[in-house]
Structure 1
Amino acid sequence: MTSEVCEFTVKGMDCGSCAGKVRGAVERIDGVEDVEVSHIAEKLTLKLDGSKTDRAAIKKAVSKVGYEIDDHSDHTHVHEIDPDKHWYETTKSRHVLLAGAVLAVAWVLALIAPTLSVWAFVAATVIGLLPVARKAFALLITGQPFTIESLMTIAAIGALIIGEAQEAALVVFLFAVGEVLEGVAATKARASIRGLSELIPKSAWLEENGATREVPASDLKIDQIVVVRPGDRIPADGVITEGTSGIDESPITGESVPLTKSEGDPVYAGAINTEAVLRVRVTKEAHDNTIARIVELVEEAESARAPTERFIDRFSRWYMPTVVGIALLTVLIPPLLLAQPWETWIYRGLALLLIGCPCALVISVPAAIASALSTGARQGLLMKGGAVIETTAAIKQIAFDKTGTLTRGTPQVTKIIALQGDEADVLRTAAAVENGSSHPLAVAILDRFADTPFKVENAKAIAGKGVTATLDGQTISVLSPSAANIDDDQVAMLEAEGQTVVVVSRDNRPIGYIALRDEPRDDAKSALAELREMGIGATILTGDNERTAAAIAGELDVDFKAKLMPEDKLSAIRGMAGPVMMIGDGINDAPALKQADVGVAMGSGTDVALETADAAILRSRVVDVPRMIRLARMTMGNIRQNIGIALGLKAVFLVTSILGITGLWIAILADTGATVLVTINAMRLLRAKP
């Protein structure tokens, strides 16, 4: 039996450490491989060999380590995150409130009945410690002995044994409070992602046989027609079949200015119809619409760990056992070799155990990355994981495709020169060859030719050169001047003006030239100036001729390389001092996007823009390129701050605990405090405006 991909929902994960425990619980099971866990998406994905293990074994293993698990692999998964409870409604929070109440009673008794208070502190410790100890034992069975739960259990029991019941109760309570705070932070991060999902309306007005009726938006099928009234959100990705209106796409792309769209234009689920009634033909079902796929990409990105995160995971694996070893030596050496009192050094050793918890360190990277991914998604900047963010922050060179990236991608026919016949015949022949093509030059020619083009046979695109076809037994073509072996002063003059010229031929004899111009985007010049200020070099890589490329590059004040075939672009990127980012339209530039250290596709919600590259800029704005790099740099700065906070506090309290300056409750407060500080610092990125 072959392996199948299984997906589970796992509730109760508050941080990357929790995700690690779930991963550790299942990856040791025979027949399980490729385990991915996202605590933000509350999702466990793995490959399972059913001949060795069944799904029930996975669910049992995860349940044993204290997390709720639900199997969604056996039915269609439509992405939807269940609303989280309020913090005080969770079992964990109620347990903390109970332990806190008993602890408060114990302190009151300490003032009026000291003898009774000892038992109250013991009770508070036991109440708080029970779920922790249960989880520690379950993790121990799965081969995870060095966890915060096991260290907490040893420290609390040890404190009780040496008569420090008050400290034991306080330590357990502070630890539980820290866990609740982590849960609150995770809930906020999930809410940010859920906000995207909730942009899609729950219902839609379906039109059938001339009548409309309200149906759930999730039930819409491809090719059905929906009516979208002014002020309504569009319920599905689709194409306008009737009507003209302003469409506010800010929920998807972050672009605040509504775009006027009419018949034939694409629209996206969650966008707002601002002006007039529209009829829209559905092109994608609910689980496959742009927002659902953006959310899915963000969640996948969160489980794609950065190199720094992987390093910290490896570091924490030896860091915790090392600290446990130091704690053991601290307990044994002074009493055995120096005749020091056992109680003093057991107490200090227990404090060291609590410092051995790497929680703050482990979550320092994923917390920052989750916040950055969420912020980027809301602003139309998609980066597929921590590794992409880390590389983007280090970018030194950017290679730009020209057409549709730095330019608007919608050239207009500016001149037609007939060498044989008349201009109408040249245009008619070109339109016949280009009919059906989505290339910007083809679209411009077809826009100029108002009639229905002739039907041709054997149409074939030649990469980087043009298109050929057969019409009435003759070979007709639209080629670049170099591909058509044309050396003409008229062509040179037009190209010197920054225009693109194509040669229209019949049976390899040129019958005319068509000149087209594609203007730079309005924000291209300012974006390139920003990149220069950031110390990042930029180069245009284009298949266009030298003169056209020089005209655009001169206007934008940027370097360029022209007349490049797809393989030439790969060579150019390899020759750049890296790390190198490639910005393209995600279709013609797929090989170059893959070759670059970071490939970024520009395009508002297109399939390719979301799937082929490492990152995507949904607003198709050049100014978003420096914004994406700034967001990545802010994230890496945040990660460095988090690691500094986590390791700095550990180092200070490691020394003070050995010297006896600080005790158990300060040690756990330092750990919980570091975790809270790191989480709050990471959440600052949710409000980042790069």
Structure 2
Amino acid sequence: VAAGRARAGIRALARLMPRTALRLGPDGAAETVPSERLRLGDLVLVRPGDRVPCDGTIEEGRSSLDESAVTGESVPVPRQPGDAVVAGSINADGVLRVRVTRTAADNTVARIVRLVEEATASRAPTQRFIERFSTWWTPGAMIVSLLVILLPPFLLGWDWQTSVYRGLAVLLIACPCALVISVPAAMASGLSAGARRGLLVKGGAALEAIGAARTVAFDKTGTLTEGHPRVTRVVAAEGQEEARVLALAAAVEGGSAHPLARAVTAAAAGRGLAVPAAGEAGARPGRSVTATVEGRRVEVGSPRHSAETARGGLGPLAAAMEGLQAEGNTVSVVLADDAAIGLLAFRDEPRADAAAGIAALADLGVRSVMLTGDNARTGAAVGRMLGLEVKAGLLPDDKLREIASLRAAGPVAMVGDGINDAPALAAATVGVAMGGGTDVALEAADAAVLKDRVTGVAELVSLSRATLRNVKQNVAVAVGLKLVFLATTLAGLTGLWPAILADTGATVLVTLNALRLLAWKPAT
């Protein structure tokens, strides 16, 4: 039931996959073929606006890819030769030639579906204990029943008809049916309830572990924030105008599909600025983009790079930059002929429900910590807005050490959305991928919030605890009824038919109680 419900949501994603692909032959001619016929090593052509038909590696071309349908990432991701691409993503602008690395049966979407199918194969520790217990319970019940039949006629003078009758009643009462189904019925209902709300869990073991977490560690970018930056401030150096700084930056960034570049051009358009033409454009990834604008060499770069290359340094702009970073902004520096003329501040806003999600976790008694590679000032500002602890300036290896430190104090859940988060997801007690995650993140994670909702993490914890409460109720009902009727049967107060009704009734009660989870909703 749970796997089927979850698969229904995943199939909606699968329907977004292109049915055909443009396969390139040895002579470079494009042939339209069904996507299922693509084989490893085939070269396919992906035009602007097309969906990528396979998981592969770019051999030629540069573009930005909208991967939101697969990973939940709302910002198009720049891709270049050598980069991996995901089936189902949309090519925004450039023409790409992609080498197939995974067939249709093994691409990212197909692997997600398989994860759903494997969910029911993972048994929770409680379920494994009950199953082990039942292997001892059943032989023990048969021995007790046999003793009830054989001993009383010799020791208490019962007639054989009475002892056989009571022995059979004891055997029926001791049948472990209700006990055995008490856990899997609740787990299946919990998994199904989660799938209905876009909470995909890889099985009962993961579902049980999520509720035990005492700390949740979050990645920042794309997890707690939207992943969609915008320009929040333009600061002009002395003798410069803000509008001029923004217009020059927009001219340089006009040919780029980078999220920050789009934020700059959108800000210029929003102010109605006339953007001059640019030529001789160039880019140094992670450092700066440059172009010649009205005879001047204009550069938009990172603070670190610009501080090293600006003639005379950043001057008074350095203090302004620190203030902007303290407010949670990412800052770029605009240079003209190697002189710093202004700053652009960007903010990747927290998700609308991020603060509510952190508060909901706090209400559940769960501590929240943000692990980020951003500078300490930006991280601290986001932490203040959302109300959680911050560990900033962390590389992937540093995140692993932080996870290990947190685990020393109790179970830890790690929430992330990308390949860089995969090691931390695997190192945590339980890993949660946001927005479906990349395929690497999904492999490392134990659960996924298929919709980009921070509150979904709190819902996962709440669902896990509700499921475990249901399990305890089921076990109490199953064992309690059996103990009561076992005592009354041995005392001669109840007979065979009450024993039958008690056994059947216990099974019905635990099943109905488990089905209540299908109507589970998080507290609002």
Structure 2 length normalisation: TM-score? Answer: 0.69
Distance in 2 of aligned mates of 1:379 and 1:574: 31
* Correspondence for 2:62: none
Counterpart of 2:180 (choices 350, 356, 362) is 362
* Correspondence for 2:390: 560
Q: Alignment partner of 1:682: what SS? A: helix
For residues 34-71 of structure 1, what are the alpha-carbon distances to aligned partners after superposition, in whole Å with 9 as ceiling and x for unaligned?
A: xxxxxxxxxxxxxxxxxxxxxxxxxxxxxxxxxxxxxx
For residues 575-624 of structure 1, what are the alpha-carbon distances to aligned partners after superposition, in whole Å with 9 as ceiling and x for unaligned?
A: 33322222112322222222221211112464244322111111111121
* 1:454 and 2:295 matched: no
Counterpart of 1:443 (choices 239, 254, 259) is 259
Residues 130 and 180, structure 2, Cα contact 8 Å, conserved in 1: yes
The change in CA–CA distance for 1:203 and 1:424 in structure 2 (over 3 A counts) is: closer
Q: Which amino acid aligns with 1:600?
A: V
* Correspondence for 2:454: 622
* 1:663 and 2:495 matched: yes
Q: What is the Cα deviation at residue 490 of structure 1?
A: 3.6
Residues 415 and 516, structure 1, Cα contact 8 Å, conserved in 2: no
Distance in 2 of aligned mates of 1:386 and 1:587: 25
- Equivalent residue runs for 1:112-131 within 5 Å: none
The change in CA–CA distance for 1:431 and 1:624 in structure 2 (over 3 A counts) is: same
- Equivalent residue runs for 1:414-433 within 5 Å: 414-415=233-234
Comparing 447-456 and 303-312, the one that deviates more: 447-456
Q: Which amino acid aligns with 2:376?
A: E
Q: What is the Cα deviation at residue 198 of structure 1?
A: 7.0
Q: What is the Cα deviation at residue 633 of structure 1?
A: 1.1
* 1:516 and 2:332 matched: no
Q: What is the Cα deviation at residue 267 of structure 1?
A: 9.8
For residues 153-200 of structure 1, what are the alpha-carbon distances to aligned partners after superposition, in whole Å with 9 as ceiling and x for unaligned?
A: xxxxxxxxxxxxxxxxxxxxxxxxxxxxxxxxxxx6676456457757
Q: What is the Cα deviation at residue 307 of structure 1?
A: 0.9
* Correspondence for 1:649: 481
Counterpart of 1:598 (choices 430, 433, 444) is 430
Residues 374 and 394, structure 2, Cα contact 8 Å, conserved in 1: yes
Which one scores higher on RCO, CA 8 angstroms, separation ≥ 6?
2
The change in CA–CA distance for 1:575 and 1:455 in structure 2 (over 3 A counts) is: closer
Q: What is the Cα deviation at residue 483 of structure 1?
A: 11
Q: What is the Cα deviation at residue 207 of structure 1?
A: 9.8
The change in CA–CA distance for 1:452 and 1:525 in structure 2 (over 3 A counts) is: farther
Q: Alignment partner of 1:621: what SS? A: coil
Comparing 637-646 and 675-684, the one that deviates more: 675-684
Residues 481 and 502, structure 1, Cα contact 8 Å, conserved in 2: no
* Correspondence for 1:399: 217
* 1:303 and 2:116 matched: no
Counterpart of 1:528 (choices 339, 358, 365) is 358
Distance in 1 of aligned mates of 2:224 and 2:17: 39
How many residues matched?
A: 443
- Equivalent residue runs for 1:98-113 within 5 Å: none
Q: What is the Cα deviation at residue 637 of structure 1?
A: 0.9
Q: What is the Cα deviation at residue 304 of structure 1?
A: 0.8
Residues 416 and 427, structure 1, Cα contact 8 Å, conserved in 2: no
* Correspondence for 1:314: 132
* Correspondence for 1:389: 207
Comparing 567-576 and 386-395, the one that deviates more: 567-576
The change in CA–CA distance for 1:288 and 1:371 in structure 2 (over 3 A counts) is: farther
* Correspondence for 1:494: 324
Residues 218 and 368, structure 2, Cα contact 8 Å, conserved in 1: yes
Q: What is the Cα deviation at residue 387 of structure 1?
A: 1.6
For residues 270-300 of structure 1, what are the alpha-carbon distances to aligned partners after superposition, in whole Å with 9 as ceiling and x for unaligned?
A: xxxxxxxxxxx9x997655777544432331
* 1:631 and 2:447 matched: no
The change in CA–CA distance for 1:540 and 1:387 in structure 2 (over 3 A counts) is: same
For residues 47-102 of structure 1, what are the alpha-carbon distances to aligned partners after superposition, in whole Å with 9 as ceiling and x for unaligned?
A: xxxxxxxxxxxxxxxxxxxxxxxxxxxxxxxxxxxxxxxxxxxxxxxxxxxxxxxx
Q: Which amino acid aligns with 1:454?
A: G
Q: What is the Cα deviation at residue 482 of structure 1?
A: 13
For residues 213-238 of structure 1, what are the alpha-carbon distances to aligned partners after superposition, in whole Å with 9 as ceiling and x for unaligned?
A: xx999889996999xxxxxxx9x999
* Correspondence for 1:687: 519
Residues 412 and 429, structure 2, Cα contact 8 Å, conserved in 1: yes
Counterpart of 2:164 (choices 342, 346, 360) is 346
The change in CA–CA distance for 1:581 and 1:617 in structure 2 (over 3 A counts) is: same
Distance in 1 of aligned mates of 2:35 and 2:259: 33
Distance in 2 of aligned mates of 1:535 and 1:615: 20
For residues 358-379 of structure 1, what are the alpha-carbon distances to aligned partners after superposition, in whole Å with 9 as ceiling and x for unaligned?
A: 1211111111111211221221
Q: Which amino acid aligns with 1:498?
A: G
* 1:582 and 2:398 matched: no
- Equivalent residue runs for 1:6-405 within 5 Å: 192=5, 195-196=8-9, 287=105, 293-405=111-223
Residues 3 and 117, structure 2, Cα contact 8 Å, conserved in 1: no
Distance in 2 of aligned mates of 1:260 and 1:586: 13
Distance in 2 of aligned mates of 1:567 and 1:531: 26
Q: Which amino acid aligns with 2:371?
A: L
Q: What is the Cα deviation at residue 306 of structure 1?
A: 0.8
For residues 640-659 of structure 1, what are the alpha-carbon distances to aligned partners after superposition, in whole Å with 9 as ceiling and x for unaligned?
A: 11111111111112112222
Residues 75 and 227, structure 2, Cα contact 8 Å, conserved in 1: no
* Correspondence for 2:63: none
Comparing 511-520 and 618-627, the one that deviates more: 511-520
Residues 303 and 385, structure 1, Cα contact 8 Å, conserved in 2: yes
Distance in 1 of aligned mates of 2:402 and 2:251: 35
Distance in 1 of aligned mates of 2:108 and 2:196: 13
Q: Alignment partner of 1:575: what SS? A: helix
CA RMSD of aligned residues (A): 5.0
- Equivalent residue runs for 1:667-678 within 5 Å: 667-678=499-510
Q: What is the Cα deviation at residue 357 of structure 1?
A: 2.0
Distance in 1 of aligned mates of 2:11 and 2:219: 35
Residues 250 and 261, structure 2, Cα contact 8 Å, conserved in 1: no
Distance in 1 of aligned mates of 2:459 and 2:340: 46
* 1:610 and 2:475 matched: no
Q: What is the Cα deviation at residue 566 of structure 1?
A: 2.4
Structure 1 length normalisation: TM-score? Answer: 0.54
* Correspondence for 1:143: none
The change in CA–CA distance for 1:619 and 1:204 in structure 2 (over 3 A counts) is: closer
Distance in 1 of aligned mates of 2:471 and 2:510: 9
Distance in 2 of aligned mates of 1:355 and 1:483: 80
The change in CA–CA distance for 1:267 and 1:551 in structure 2 (over 3 A counts) is: same
Distance in 2 of aligned mates of 1:685 and 1:319: 28
Q: Alignment partner of 2:419: what SS? A: coil
Residues 429 and 504, structure 1, Cα contact 8 Å, conserved in 2: no
Identity of aligned residues (%): 48
Distance in 1 of aligned mates of 2:328 and 2:371: 16
Distance in 1 of aligned mates of 2:304 and 2:170: 73
The change in CA–CA distance for 1:224 and 1:304 in structure 2 (over 3 A counts) is: farther
The change in CA–CA distance for 1:669 and 1:468 in structure 2 (over 3 A counts) is: farther
* Correspondence for 2:380: 550
For residues 206-261 of structure 1, what are the alpha-carbon distances to aligned partners after superposition, in whole Å with 9 as ceiling and x for unaligned?
A: 799xxxxxx999889996999xxxxxxx9x999xxxxxxxxx98xx99x9xxx999
Q: Alignment partner of 2:357: what SS? A: helix
The change in CA–CA distance for 1:643 and 1:218 in structure 2 (over 3 A counts) is: farther
Q: What is the Cα deviation at residue 424 of structure 1?
A: 9.4
- Structure 2 residue runs of 5 or longer lacking an equivalent are 23-32, 56-67, 80-84, 90-97, 239-243, 266-277, 290-299
Q: What is the Cα deviation at residue 316 of structure 1?
A: 1.0
Comparing 351-360 and 290-299, the one that deviates more: 290-299
- Structure 1 residue runs of 5 or longer lacking an equivalent are 1-187, 209-214, 227-233, 239-247, 270-280, 437-441, 460-465, 470-475
